[in-house]
């Protein structure tokens, strides 16, 4: 080293750079960026993060049934800890101090349009504040990137006050915040819109993009609020929404399989349909070839009725602890109508986890686990195109477009 030359180490996730004078040797570390998985459930967020190159080293959930499925699938290792506990009882000393990312799929019960909309003041969704408290207690060891995943109802809960409160809480911890919405239907034949509140200690350049698919009109108020510290990362357009594909994920089941409902129950199902739905189902029943649709039982004017989707797309999978929230499969065609409950394997496939280990899982245990999760390819896409590039400082502003520039078509 020449006299006066300085040497310093720069930390970048997965890379150690040592500058010596004019020489910059780079040593790539074998370790992947580490992540914590709060409200982990059965681990589908972990599956998506690991697809993009993260290493999930710590997870937490309070439900033994979910931990049992998590452990059955991932196994146990010295490099991973699962804290089976209410998050309010997790001590900050239990958390790793070298995580690059904290992911939180907090309960959506009080934020969902199907719930009572108690918001972050509710008993279940309110545990979000325990996540914030732990981040606060981490101090200088807070991860450079954090993610809150929830239903899109968060944007309108209490007139937007709940989302505002979440962003301000992240701001106070030193994070600039981006908010994006992404539907599972862009990757799988399931309608499942979700919102992601992404906090960054070192945010990318704020890039306003008109008609951005990831930030629809109902989110734009966030970025116009001067009291909030926000940014908009330039991201590639996600895949176009699927318009079919459910049938390809349905289990091949014999007509005589005992899981199909008997004639009496099937007739009651058909009788509960509205006239419009009954006519649609009858037409599909008369048609040649086999088609599949999904159905939910709903209460209309105090009466329980079944409603069948018109397309080859699944409705949003839900937490199936009661019959009203379970989704049914309807097989139609060749003058036959058959109905049954959707199977755990079909739930897994519709969440992008068709290879999930279901050995030993009870039927409703599996349905609840998948219905309460985030789809694997959604997490994988976000991690690949946003979270990993954000950690590496690789996100760039969108190319500028001169609005005065003219386009000539010959």
Q: What is the pLDDT of residues 97-147, one digit of tens each?
A: 999 999 999 764 544 444 444 444 444 446 888 999 999 999 999 999 999
Please check whether residue 13 is in contact with residue 391, taking contact to mean a CB–CB distance below 8 angstroms: yes
Residue 305 φ/ψ, nearest 5 degrees: -135, 160
- Supply 14's token pair: 């997965």
Q: Which residues pair with 249 in a beta bridge?
A: none
CB burial string 147-181: b at 16+ within 10 A, e below: bbbbbbbbbebbebebbbbbbebbbebebbbbbbb
Q: What is the pLDDT of residue 301?
A: 82
Residue 206 φ/ψ, nearest 5 degrees: -70, 125
Asked if the model's pLDDT at residue 405 lies above 60, the reply is no
Q: What is the pLDDT of residue 319?
A: 77
Compute the average pLDDT of residues 295-323: 85
Q: What is the pLDDT of residue 286?
A: 95
Asked if the model's pLDDT at residue 34 lies above 50, the reply is yes
Q: What is the pLDDT of residue 398?
A: 66
Catalytic residue among 87, 108, 166, 219: 108
Task: Looking at 20-127, list the stretches that DSSP marks H as alpha helix, in order from N- to C-terminal side.
Answer: 44-51, 64-74
Map residue 241 onto helix, strand or coil: coil
Q: Write the pLDDT tens digit of every residue in 388-397.
A: 999 999 987 6
Q: Write the pLDDT tens digit of every residue in 330-389.
A: 999 999 999 999 999 999 999 999 999 999 999 999 999 999 999 999 999 999 999 999
What angle in degrees, to the nearest 10, is found between the helix axes of 363-371 and 64-74?
90
Q: What is the pLDDT of residue 154?
A: 86
Q: What is the pLDDT of residue 302?
A: 83
Instruction: Give domain limits for the chain.
Output: 34-240+374-392, 252-342
Q: Identify which of 49, 37, 43 has the alpha carbon closest to the alpha carbon of residue 380.
A: 49
**Alpha-carbon span 397 to 395, nearest angstrom:** 7
Q: What is the pTM of this model?
A: 0.86
Longest dimension (CA), the chain: 91
Mean pLDDT, the chain, as a whole number? 86
Q: Within 10 A of 101 (CB to CB), how many other CB atoms are there?
A: 24
Q: Which residues pair with 268 in a beta bridge?
A: none
108 is catalytic: yes
Q: Does domain 34-240+374-392 have CATH number 3.40.50.150?
A: yes
């Amino acid at each position: 080293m020449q006299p006066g030359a300085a040497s310093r180490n720069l930390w970048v996730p997965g890379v150690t750079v040592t500058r010596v004078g004019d020489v910059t040797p780079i040593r790539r570390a074998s370790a992947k960026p580490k992540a914590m998985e709060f409200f982990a459930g059965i681990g589908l967020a972990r599956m998506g993060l690991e697809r993009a190159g993260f290493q999930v080293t710590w997870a937490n959930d309070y439900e033994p049934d979910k931990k049992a499925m998590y452990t059955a699938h991932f196994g146990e290792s010295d490099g991973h800890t699962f804290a089976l506990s209410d998050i309010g009882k997790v001590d900050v000393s239990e958390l790793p101090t070298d995580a690059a990312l904290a992911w939180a799929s907090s309960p959506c019960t009080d934020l969902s349009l199907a719930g009572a909309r108690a918001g972050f003041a509710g008993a279940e969704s309110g545990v979000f504040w325990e996540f914030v408290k732990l981040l606060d207690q981490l101090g200088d060891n807070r991860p450079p990137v954090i993610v809150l995943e929830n239903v899109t109802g968060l944007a309108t809960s209490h007139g937007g006050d709940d989302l505002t409160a979440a962003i301000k809480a992240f701001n106070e911890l030193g994070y600039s915040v981006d908010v994006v919405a992404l539907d599972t239907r862009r990757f799988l034949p399931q309608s499942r819109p979700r919102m992601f509140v992404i906090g960054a200690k070192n945010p990318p350049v704020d890039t306003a993009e008109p008609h951005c698919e990831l930030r629809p009109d109902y989110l734009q108020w966030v970025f116009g609020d001067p009291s909030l510290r926000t940014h908009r990362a330039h991201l590639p357009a996600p895949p176009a929404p699927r318009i079919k594909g459910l049938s390809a994920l349905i289990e091949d089941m014999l007509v005589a399989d005992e899981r199909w409902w008997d004639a009496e129950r099937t007739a009651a199902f058909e009788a509960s349909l509205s006239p419009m739905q009954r006519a649609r189902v009858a037409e599909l029943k008369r048609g040649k070839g086999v088609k599949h649709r999904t159905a939910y039982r709903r209460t209309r004017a105090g009466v329980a009725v079944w409603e069948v989707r018109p397309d080859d797309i699944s409705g949003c999978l839900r937490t199936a602890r009661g019959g009203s929230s379970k989704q049914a499969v309807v097989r139609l065609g060749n003058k036959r109508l058959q109905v049954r409950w959707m199977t755990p394997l079909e739930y897994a496939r519709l969440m992008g986890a068709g290879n999930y280990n279901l050995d030993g899982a009870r039927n409703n245990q599996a349905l609840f686990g998948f219905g309460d999760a985030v789809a694997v390819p959604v997490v994988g896409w976000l991690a690949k195109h946003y979270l990993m590039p954000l950690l590496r400082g690789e996100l760039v502003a969108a190319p500028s477009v001169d609005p005065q520039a003219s386009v000539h078509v010959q």
